[in-house]
Amino acid sequence: MKKTLLFMSLVMLILSGCTSHALYELKGESNHWKTEFIVTKRMETDNGSSITKYVMETKISSKDPKMVVYDASYEIDMAGLHQSSGKMSDPNGKKGASFFPMSEMYDELQSGDEITVKIKWNKNNEEEIVMKVN
């Protein structure tokens, strides 16, 4: 019993060094794509000082699971505070293409800030999804 209590205390101590909670959960879509965007505030302790980080988890996926994508790229602009991008290609084509980018920044998004996701695919298609922080 004492070992179990000691183990649980140790786990709680480790977990207390890093806490996080979701600040925003945004969704948007265009004609061919949809996106989900979650911003989490994470407090970390490093050598006795607290550091605040904002973690962005994004899911970008085609709305039509039958749509064949040979090449695609995305660009994310978070109110000019942070940008990220990525791309994929498959010479045989891929159905149900998705991206799952994750990034960190030190500046907090404010109410009214815009998050813009630009998706380009199959050489000459482009759409943009704009979400506004409430």
- Read off the tokens for 71: 């090449």
What domain range includes position 48?
Answer: 20-132
Are the CB atoms for 85 and 72 separated by under 8 Å? no
* Domain-embedded: residue 108: yes
* Domain-embedded: residue 62: yes
Domain count, the chain: 1
* Domain-embedded: residue 64: yes
Strands 82-95, 18-29: parallel, antiparallel or unpaired by DSSP? Answer: unpaired
Closest CA to 125 of 59, 79, 70: 70
* Domain-embedded: residue 13: no
What is the tens place of the pLDDT at every residue in 23-82? Answer: 889 999 999 999 999 999 988 887 888 888 899 999 999 999 999 999 999 999 999 888
* Domain-embedded: residue 53: yes
What is the tens place of the pLDDT at every residue in 67-83? Answer: 999 999 999 999 988 89
What is the tens place of the pLDDT at every residue in 91-131? Answer: 999 998 999 999 988 888 889 999 999 999 999 999 999 99
Q: How far apart are CA 41 and CA 52, in angstroms?
A: 7
Global pTM value: 0.78
* Domain-embedded: residue 90: yes
Residue 30 CA to its chain's centroid (Å): 18
**What is the Cα gyration radius of the chain?**
19
* Domain-embedded: residue 15: no
* Domain-embedded: residue 36: yes
The CATH number that applies at residue 100 is: 2.60.40
